Amino acid sequence: MTTTTAQDQIRDTVTKNDVVLYMKGTKMMPQCGFSSRVAGVLNFMGVDYVDVNVLEDAEIRQGIKDFSDWPTIPQLYVKGEFVGGCDIITEMTLSGELDQLFEQRGVVYNKDAADQIRAANN
């Protein structure tokens, strides 16, 4: 019998899904402001993503920080690659870099919604 570690579980999740958000709470009920902001951007842009609630599993909560060598949650992964946390995702959304990343990686999103976010924050 093989035991899966938190690291194995995380690696498995981020490689099998195009977009993964490790967050406090869920995409429908975020449990912290930073998680809420990133989930809100992804939801508004119509991105299909998997949400992992780190509050449900202490090993995953610590494991994701070790996995990415990043101290905070939320953490966004696109096509297996760590993109960043709340501040980075916010900056990337406002600069258009997130759009470019999604386009390069073949992730479907609503360009008009992304433009609306930028217009509202100018």
Which residues are annotated as part of the binding site for [2Fe-2S] cluster?
32
CA dihedral angle for residue 26, residue 30, residue 34, residue 39, rounded to 10 degrees: 60
Which residues carry a binding-site annotation? 32
Single-letter code of the amino acid located at 106: G
Residue keyed to tokens 């995409």:
27
Tell me how long the chain is: 122
